Structure 1
Amino acid sequence: MTRSYRVDDLVDFNVYPLDETVSPEYKVALSQAREQLQHDGCAVIKNLLRPTAVKIISQEIIARKQTTHFSTSSMNPYFHSTKNSDYPDRHPVNTFIERSSGFIPGDSWDSSLAIDVLFRSEALTAFIRDCLETDSVYCYADPLAGLTANILDPGQQFAWHFDTNEFA
């Protein structure tokens, strides 16, 4: 029997009341995340997920590992694979590193899974939007690339790179 999850099964709403944006707890969490983003460029929201949620999501990922699409390529930090003669050899644009990893594609998940419930949660999306102080945040609608899990087996590497997203 497949279990259906609600966001509050996965996120402790007593600590992170995503459904009560005017509560003191929400405001504290928001303030802490914004401060980290301002200072460090990233935020760690400790214990956002219940320990049981982390375990469930880990099991969901492991159960779908056989659907992983693996690839190996050599690329620079800008996702290019050819040398650019406009720059010196030692310039990062001409520095190529192996990238060997995989991802579980979006069509491997279904709406009953905890990971999908979090991905599509309006409350969690609104919290992220509030943390980022932006007007809109959308779930990526691509059926393969929308919700993915990166997989690295021993010996594989996900090379350092510049993300082209405004935030990730």
Structure 2
Amino acid sequence: MDEIVDGVTHPMGAAPFREACRAALDRDGVLCLPDFIQPAALEAMLNEARGAQDKAYFCTSRHSVYLTPADPAYPAEHPANRQVESSKGCICDDVIGANSPLRTLYDDPGFRAFVAAVTGEAALYPYADPLSSINIHYAHRGQELGWHFDNSSFAITLLIQKPEAGSRFEYVKDLRRADAGEMNFEGVRKLLDEEMTPTVLTMEPATLVLFRGRNAIHRVSPNEGETTRMLAVLAYNAQPGVALSENARMTFYGRLG
């Protein structure tokens, strides 16, 4: 792990560091750790991502920001039903090499304990299906991730390569209160109508990000450069034996296994 993570800047096993990270995530809804990955490990991740890009499943979908089916109780232009577009490519866990730095990082007990401590989870487990634990996302020129709220309580991403322009991670913290059933349709309308200015999270390759997206609406703006944006997603569950549904796997990956 010393060859993968800069443990001097980011001492994951140190209680004060964990506590500071958790406080930042609780306060801001996002924790951004620049230069988390060592240069040689980042280069290995980039080479792996480039080499596997021909195996990526590319798709374009239209969806509501709530990632829910159309609600007939509201008109089509209502915030609950307004459609945004997402387009990206993705390779799955079974494409990631056994000796990949991404897999070493994902499987490392110290890293998993760090993430659990920062997010407040008792323990973390990989997905039970063969596709969902580690993904690499690709965005070519013009591709984007449309505005949405996450269903999960937190997400972990690692930027591998960024384009010359565009692909900005934008978000608005606490725009809804999902557990209380408060969807804040008016706030979503203002954002979609550009009457609200989102926060832009600036990051460079090798940056690890923990993000609470269940109540924070967010998007990745269209790639405006010639360089492909490459982003690793490390996904865990709070319970063992959880698999992404077959419908979700077909939608996101184009296959079941």
Same-fold call, TM cutoff 0.5: yes
1:151 maps to a residue whose letter is Y
Partner residue of 1:28 out of 5, 9, 16: 16
Which one has a bigger Cα radius of gyration? 1
Partner residue of 1:93 out of 80, 101, 105: 80
- The within-5 A match list for 1:17-166 is 17-18=11-12, 21=13, 26-80=14-68, 83-166=70-153
Deviations 1:9-55 (A, max 9, x none): 1012333344xx3xxxx223212211211111111123221122222
- Whether the aligned pair in 2 keeps the contact of 1:33 and 1:44 (CA below 8 Å) is no
SS at match of 2:146: coil
Question: C-alpha root-mean-square deviation of aligned residues, in Å?
Answer: 1.7
2:34 maps to a residue whose letter is K
Which deviates the most, 68-77 or 9-18?
Answer: 9-18
Which deviates the most, 88-97 or 148-157?
Answer: 88-97
TM-score by length of 2: 0.56
TM-score by length of 1: 0.83
Q: Distance in 2 between matches of 1:101 and 1:124?
A: 28
- Whether the aligned pair in 1 keeps the contact of 2:58 and 2:88 (CA below 8 Å) is yes
Q: Aligned pairs, how many?
A: 155
Which ranges of structure 1 fall in alignment gaps of 5 or more residues? 1-6
SS at match of 1:107: helix
How high is the sequence identity, in percent, across the aligned residues? 27
Which deviates the most, 66-75 or 141-150?
Answer: 141-150
